[in-house]
Structure 1
Amino acid sequence: MCRFIRTALTLFVAFMAALTVHADDHMQVPAYGGVEVFGCDFAEGKDIDDLLEVADKWNKWASKNHSQPYSGYVLQPYYYDDLDDETYWVGFSPSLAAQGIVQSEWMSKGAKLQQEFDSVTPCKSHLQLAWTRVFDETESPSSQGVVDFAGCSMLPDGSQEKLASADAKMNAFNAKIGNAVRVYRWYPMQGANADTPEFYQAQWYDSLEAKGAIADSFITNGGVQIQNALYADLMRCEAGPSFLYNFVGGSE
């Protein structure tokens, strides 16, 4: 997951292209915001319970010290082959400006709590990405669940206009069958390396049971065939790891 992309310019262009979709000669900007990802290992003798204990302290700190919204998640590998890190911290912001403000507040006020994090999970990487929403009709997502990642790239015949059109049709199908999956794309911006795909597609589920039920419904209703027909000429995705997630709080 933490082997990110080709060049900073390629990443920036990919993200800006995702934000600029032409429809009826008007510019449409989809919902987007900032993501930061820390890739970390557990210190000797420490485990997820120790991390969640520090995260609980952070939640109280964030509610008092953040002036902008920020949502923190802890990810644990579930389905995987080989990963660089044992656990991940993922933080979401509603805009890149809000992300920068919260990060500055952490740097100026959070040093003591940072030491507690470092004593439990020293981190080897810190990445900046931007999220865009593809499909999410869940009003109150679970605080725990599972998220699947795929690494994707656009094909020569693909474009953001075509991708937006395919997304609209896929979203209509998912809504029709009552699919409760939440689909987002993450575009690497800073901190990535040359092996990173153009973007990640993240599919969030409220539980492993929900993931299985949604997959069965998608398959039996012809979703695989529809998906292939819509996207096969536009983009290529390679299945990646799945993680169990815990929402650990933040600020509103």
Structure 2
Amino acid sequence: MKKILLILVMLSTGYAFSQSMPPTFPVEMYYGCTYEKGKDIEDMMEVGEEWREWQEENDPVGRENYNAWIFTADFAGASLHGTSMWFGVANNWENFTKSHFNWVRNGADMSKKFEKVMGPSNCLGHLMGVMFPTRQAEGWEPVDVRPVFTSLCTAKENTSMMDFNSAYSKMNAFLDAGGMSDKVAMFNIFPVAGQTSDYDFATMMVLRDDDALGELATLMSTGGAAMQSSLFEPLQECTQNSMMLSSPLPGNTSFN
């Protein structure tokens, strides 16, 4: 019940600072993953190309509406399991569900190809969640790698919608004033099924490119980190703070 209430609070928070319900997206993550011996991300991308070809006939709705990335740990938290993660996003729940069951019914042979590189048995878990933006960005061009900061957070007792609304609004205003408009996007992800550790939501900060990462680092080292701590430490406790590198699988149609 606490998790359900928290999701409603955070969604309402998004409503408060956008004045319209923000878009929400179904996500899935194969997390805590390691590659088979002698395999790496290049092998995963090759299988990814075959998967996209497989989708043309077996999962057309997923081919058009499901996008995926491989996250590779760069600066990893000490308790982070594995070195890689599959991060998939669909544009809505109906298409996500159709694509998922196309995979369940037709994907056995394709799954064996993934297993030779990094399949579900190489991962700690498989999570389904709901993702919504706390800061949106537009006009990004596709790139081969994006920096992504991630953490797992638990809301403190007696936090309210208005508390989170105020914190996000102030942080977003600070980033805009610091020249980061459309250079950083932020999301919260609430687990629905497949969660293996106790947290309320995951946070994800995505940078447009490596230049934006340098700008953000300068901004955070000249007052931004202190402001972020003062805004969010009273509201949440976070662990597994890590920086990942996000690489798109071939054939993504959006969210690049």
After superposition, give the CA deviation of every residue in 1:152-183 in whole Å (9 maximum; x if it has no partner).
12122421232123212221221222211211
Matching of residues 1-252 of structure 1 within 5 Å: 9-21=1-13, 29-39=21-31, 40-62=33-55, 65-67=59-61, 69-80=65-76, 81-123=78-120, 124=123, 125-141=125-141, 142-179=143-180, 180-193=183-196, 195-220=197-222, 222-238=223-239, 240-248=241-249, 249-251=251-253
Give TM-score scaled by structure 1 length.
0.83
Task: Give how far 1:191 is off.
Answer: 0.6
Is the contact between residue 126 and residue 191 of structure 1 (CA under 8 Å) also seen in structure 2?
A: yes
Change (3 A) 1:45 1:22: closer
Percent of residue pairs identical: 22
- State whether residues 80 and 240 of structure 2, in contact with CA within 8 Å, keep that contact through their aligned partners in structure 1: no
Q: Hey, what's the Cα distance between the residues in 1 that align with 2:147 and 2:159?
A: 29
Q: Greater RCO between the two (CA within 8 Å, min separation 6)?
A: 1
- TM-score, normalised on structure 2? 0.82
> How many residues matched?
240
State the shift of 1:143 in Å: 4.0
Compare the two structures and name the one with the higher helix fraction.
2
Partner of 1:3: none
User: CA RMSD for the aligned pairs?
Assistant: 2.5
Structure 2, unaligned runs of 5 or more: none
Q: 2 CA distance for matches of 1:52 and 1:23?
A: 37
**Native 8 Å contact 1:11 1:189 kept in 2:** no
Q: Secondary structure at the match of 1:137?
A: coil
| Residues 191 and 11 of structure 1, relative CA distance in 2, 3 Å threshold | farther
Q: Decide whether the 8 Å contact of 1:46 with 1:120 is kept in 2.
A: yes
Pick the structure with more strand per residue.
1
- Is the partner of 2:247 in helix, strand or coil? strand
Structure 1: segments with no counterpart, 5+ residues: 1-8
Shift of 1:13: 3.4
List, as ranges, runs of 4+ consecutive aligned residues in structure 1 with deviation greater than 4 Å. Answer: 21-24
The residue type paired with residue 159 of structure 1 is: S
CA displacement, residues 169-204 of structure 1 (integer Å, 9 cap, x when unaligned): 2212212222112111111110112x3321111111
Shift, 1:107, TM fit: 1.7
- For 2:15 and 2:94, locate their aligned partners in 1 and report how far apart those are by CA, in whole Å: 27
